Amino acid sequence: MTCEGCSNAVSRVLNKLGGVEFDIDLPNKKVCISSDHSVDILLETLEKTG
């Protein structure tokens, strides 16, 4: 993630997925995620975002 547009896109897809708590740290380019979804589902969802 390099900009606010990127973090907004990540927020949008994670909220749409549901059952996800997350914190985006844009300056450090990190997302901390807590979810019952598998890591594979989360990665696939985020990779589709771009």
pTM: 0.84
Beta strands in the chain (DSSP E): 20-25, 30-35
- Residue closest to 33 by CA, chosen among 50, 11, 49: 11
CATH number at residue 28: 3.30.70.100
Tens digit of each residue's pLDDT (9 = 90 or more) over 1-50: 889 999 999 999 999 999 999 999 999 999 999 999 999 999 999 999 87
Amino acid, res. 31: V
Question: How many structural domains is the chain composed of?
Answer: 1
| pLDDT number for residue 25 | 96
| pLDDT number for residue 2 | 87
Q: Can you give the residue range of the structural domain that contains 10? A: 4-49
